Structure 1
Amino acid sequence: MLSVILRARKSLGQMLLVLGAVVLAACVPTGGPSTQGPRGGSVQVALLIPSGSGQSQDELFGQNLENAARLAMADLSGVNIDLRVYRTGGSPAQAAALAKQAVDEGAQVILGPFYSEEANAAGVAVANSGVNVLAFSNNAGIAGGNVFVLGQTFENTARRLAGYAVRNGKSKILIVHDRNVSGEAGKSAIERGVSAAGGSVVGVTSYEFSQNGIVQAASGIVSSAKSSGATALFLTADTAGALPLLSQLLVENGIDRGTTQFIGLTRWDIPPATLALPGVQGGWFAMPDPSLQAQFRSRYEGAYGSRPAPIAGLAYDGIAAIGALASRAKDGQPLSKSDLTQSAGFAGVSGIFRLLSNGTNERGLAIAQIRSNQVVVIDGAPRSFGGAGF
């Protein structure tokens, strides 16, 4: 997925949807997600959104993020969120300047920015203030210090999928990756995930990130799969990049789909048209709990009359988690790292999630398979951090 590392406009990072619930609650209530946390409290939040660049996509994302944040605020009970919105225009320099301004104006936590470079710049700008940054990113490379990423990381996804694969007889993994920065990052995450799961990486192969590069590499990838005895191909390709062509060519070059499972590190259901591709049929990928996501979409549409962009839930999640911690923000002090990383985590519209001390996150993900152009959940998202899937 290119936008994991680059500030790409055409490919989004993979996202999660969570709401805050503190202390007891690493589980999702039967009736749906809850924003209930400790009662009372007030916190000033700086929301940094990419609006103002003049690009329509940034305006759309910015409005969606602000809408979702305000929807979360309306759902909080007994908590006062003083939300102040800052428009970065997608610029790292502007994000840094606005983060400083927000802290000077009393912000106790920063929600956003959207792009990785912005989030990194904002974190550096306020590093000595004690204010933490909850970024709308899944790039683990910027995580750490006072910067947390809210998006679905390669590490989390790879561990979940590798664990499921090994438990289901697909323990010999051939890694197939894009020959670029995000492909290399994905390869490393898969290697760690397979090792943690007790499986074995029987080979690593790659392709130049171009149409010709994929065409030239396809037959060799199939040959490697056969000679290595791989029972699964773990692909870093995403739907906006190599996946459509790569999956087709692997099938055309004779991969045995009966014995070799395709596994995807990225979401294979966005955009929905991907589900009709012949090459992805039967493939596995990981995603947040789809039933809880559907509840969020329905509520958003009811409030704003339009379908939310996939990233909108991150702002809702961030506000809900902050609201659940609001009682800990005493005398205008920043929300601390220890508060944000409390082990019980948070539960919400896409299941459970918690922030880790290294700035990344851990979340409960479902395993889905594409069958007859449809997404079918074959292993549900865990409902507690001690349950299956962790």
Structure 2
Amino acid sequence: MLSAFRSARKSLGRFLFVFLALFAAACVPAGESSAPRDTRPGAVKVALLVPGGSGNASDQILADSLVNAARLAAADLSGVTIDLRIYQTGGNPAQARAMALQAADEGAEVILGPVFAQEANAAGVALAGRGLNVLAFSNNPDIAGGNVFVLGPTFDNTARRLSSYAVRNGKTRIMIVHERNTAGELGGSAIQRGVAAAGGTVVAVSSYEFSQAGVASAAPGIVRTARETGANALFLTADTAGALPLLSQLLVENGADRETTKFLGLTRWDVPSQTLGLPGVQGGWFTLPDPNLYAQFQARYGAAYGSPPHPIAGLAYDGIAAIGALARQGRGFSTAALTQGSGFVGVSGIFRLHSNGTNERGLAIAEIRNNQVVVIDPAPRSFSGSGF
């Protein structure tokens, strides 16, 4: 099993995506002085808050990749000039607050970042009276609202999309299986809402202690409950760096019939790629961003910087793309402008922001077949598609 399963999960205040820890490629170093500011008249002043300067190597890799992606997006804009100003937060809420205030004093029109939830919350509170909105890279909906918007993909978005597809395809009796930790509880609640919105029925909810022993102990009962309730889908909150490898294997070994009971995943099952070879996930469904668009971004980023982007670097590109689109429209960056119903197009597909600070992203549905990812329902290209 993946060794990360043995270690305790970071709190949601800092935890963003499990696959952050799986990224090891080096990026081009970036910093406040690594490129001149664009001071041409009419340039949109954007403050980019990144977790550099903490002394943590993984934070610096993430910071550099976010800066690179933002610069790539700014260079791609037509008819709009971005004055991108970089502020290092050190991954620290107090420093994020100070940098946000400094950015405001230096004329920032909108804040892009920071990454971690506590940082984003601190920046949002500091700027609440300054008329500046914060487009954070977090996926934690607890900090969303007011002047803080989260760009990261949320459990609710994934649960709605996958529940809708499952119910439309006959998987109407769904059993939720989640870890007994913060992420598992939040994920389970999101699935409950998603299934209800799709018109399906949650026939049972089962949980397990977040440990190898806990999974092994719970697996027989999960399979038994699925049979007794007539569940035709098991919706799992487990991820690839946690319980998924062991859980999927033990569910099958204990008699779960994948022909009649489909495994659904709340998280990405294709990262890392070795997960695709696990016997227990074969035939399972999960969501992912538009793979064609993201592949184009990866190729362009690699060509520009000589290494692959960090898994969440695309969020910085998306933020600049949205800011550029609004600048072309001459609408400014008010809440009303940011939450336009038509949304925006980024490197992972379409997305839009809601007035409550959360977001909605166009996701594809994929199935694992013969150790490969097969898209079985493409990501929608507009917010009137069936995925919504």
Residue aligned with 1:173, SS:
strand
Q: Report the Cα distance in structure 1 between the residues aligned to 2:382 and 2:105, rounded to whole angstroms.
A: 38
Residue aligned with 1:188, SS:
helix
| Aligned-pair identity (%) | 69
- Which structure is higher in RCO with an 8 Å CA cutoff and minimum separation 6? 1
Q: Deviations over 1:364-383 (max 9, x none)?
A: 11000111111100000111
Aligned residue in 2 for 1:278: 279
Q: Report the Cα distance in structure 2 between the residues aligned to 1:42 and 1:82, rounded to whole angstroms.
A: 6
Aligned residue in 2 for 1:79: 80
Aligned residue in 1 for 2:90: 89
Q: How far does residue 104 in structure 1 lie from its aligned partner after superposition?
A: 1.2
Residue aligned with 1:215, SS:
helix
Instruction: Tell me, yes or no, if the aligned pair for 1:170 and 1:232 is still in contact at 8 Å.
Output: yes
Aligned residue in 2 for 1:66: 67
Q: Report the Cα distance in structure 2 between the residues aligned to 1:112 and 1:257, rounded to whole angstroms.
A: 41
Aligned residue in 2 for 1:18: none
Residue aligned with 2:255, SS:
coil
Aligned residue in 2 for 1:341: 339
Q: Deviations over 1:39-93 (max 9, x none)?
A: x953111101111111111111111000000001111122121111011111111
Instruction: Tell me, yes or no, if the aligned pair for 1:173 and 1:201 is still in contact at 8 Å.
Output: yes
Q: Report the Cα distance in structure 1 between the residues aligned to 2:175 and 2:328, rounded to whole angstroms.
A: 49
Aligned residue in 1 for 2:29: none
Residue aligned with 2:18, SS:
coil
Q: Report the Cα distance in structure 1 between the residues aligned to 2:212 and 2:102, rounded to whole angstroms.
A: 45
RMSD: 1.8
Corresponding letter in the other structure for 2:320? I
Residue aligned with 1:342, SS:
coil
Q: Report the Cα distance in structure 2 between the residues aligned to 1:339 and 1:225, rounded to whole angstroms.
A: 46
Q: Deviations over 1:246-285 (max 9, x none)?
A: 1111111111111000000011111111111111111100
Aligned residue in 2 for 1:204: 205
5 Å-filtered alignment, 1:303-314, equals 303-314=304-315
Instruction: Tell me, yes or no, if the aligned pair for 1:109 and 1:131 is still in contact at 8 Å.
Output: yes
Aligned residue in 1 for 2:18: 11
Aligned residues: 362
Corresponding letter in the other structure for 1:5? L
Q: Deviations over 1:157-179 (max 9, x none)?
A: 00000000001010100000111
Instruction: Tell me, yes or no, if the aligned pair for 2:79 and 2:328 is still in contact at 8 Å.
Output: no
Aligned residue in 2 for 1:379: 377
5 Å-filtered alignment, 1:44-63, equals 44-63=45-64
TM-score using structure 1 length: 0.89
TM-score using structure 2 length: 0.90
Q: Report the Cα distance in structure 2 between the residues aligned to 1:209 and 1:284, rounded to whole angstroms.
A: 23
5+ residue gaps, structure 2, are: 22-40
Q: Report the Cα distance in structure 2 between the residues aligned to 1:292 and 1:360, rounded to whole angstroms.
A: 22
Find runs of 4+ consecutive structure 1 residues off by over 3 angstroms. Answer: 1-4, 327-330
Provide closer, same or farther for how the CA distance between residues 12 and 144 of structure 1 changes in structure 2, counting only shifts above 3 A: farther
Q: Report the Cα distance in structure 1 between the residues aligned to 2:286 and 2:20, rounded to whole angstroms.
A: 15
Instruction: Tell me, yes or no, if the aligned pair for 1:370 and 1:376 is still in contact at 8 Å.
Output: yes
Provide closer, same or farther for how the CA distance between residues 186 and 198 of structure 1 changes in structure 2, counting only shifts above 3 A: same
